[in-house]
Each structure stands twice: as structure tokens, then as C-alpha cells.
Amino acid sequence: MALVLVKYGTDHPVEKLKIRSAKAEDKIVLIQNGVFWALEELETPAKVYTIKDDFLARGYSEEDSKVPLITYSEFIDLLESEEKFIG
């Protein structure tokens, strides 16, 4: 299991590779400009989360996100619970 951090937008090829390569037991967190991925249907078996504050700061409403929104506190909990981190 790994926590995969996506912080760049949808035009970034490495971020696309990280999302597509994630396994079912992995978790993906969309942060900073990575939150733009939350507007799309993602091709991944992993659980995906978006940082709520980053998403809202870009002018979107909670209803616009296609993945669950989490707080920074919940993000820290995910960081602490995973053995591996892919940034």
C-alpha cells in the first residue's frame, strides 16, 4: 500500500502515469493544482481524495468534485497510516 500525491494539473504526463499505475490498495491525494484531476473520471482502481481547501480555493464548489473531499487534518492521518509515499 502506498500514498500517491498528485500536485500538478491534468497536462502533466508524470501525474497521469502515477494515477494510472496506482493499485487498488493504494490511496491517491490530489493537492494544489492536482485538484483539477477531481473534475475528471479517473482511470484507477485506487481510492482517490481531494484536498477540500485547495479545490475550493480554485473557485469550485464541493459538488463539482468527482472524488471525496478531505481536510488537511484527514490528509495528515492518511500520511501517518501509509508505509510508502510516492510524491
Residue 7: name the closest of 45, 43, 36, 40 by CA.
36
Q: What are phi and psi of 58, to 5 degrees?
A: -95, 15
Residue 26: name the closest of 45, 46, 44, 42 by CA.
46
pLDDT at 65: 97
Which pLDDT band, with edges at 50, 70 and 90, does 1 fall under?
confident
How many domains are there within the chain?
Answer: 1
The answer to whether the beta carbons of residues 34 and 10 sit under 8 Å apart is no
Kind and range of the H or E run holding 48: strand 47-51
pLDDT over 90 percentage in the chain: 87
Q: Which domain holds residue 27?
A: 1-83
- pTM assigned to the model: 0.93
Alpha carbons 58 and 53: distance in angstroms, whole number: 9
What average pLDDT is seen over the chain?
Answer: 94
27: domain CATH number is 3.40.1260.10
What are 53-82's pLDDT values in tens digits?
A: 999 999 999 999 999 999 999 999 999 988
The answer to whether the beta carbons of residues 5 and 79 sit under 8 Å apart is no
Check pLDDT > 90 for residue 18: yes
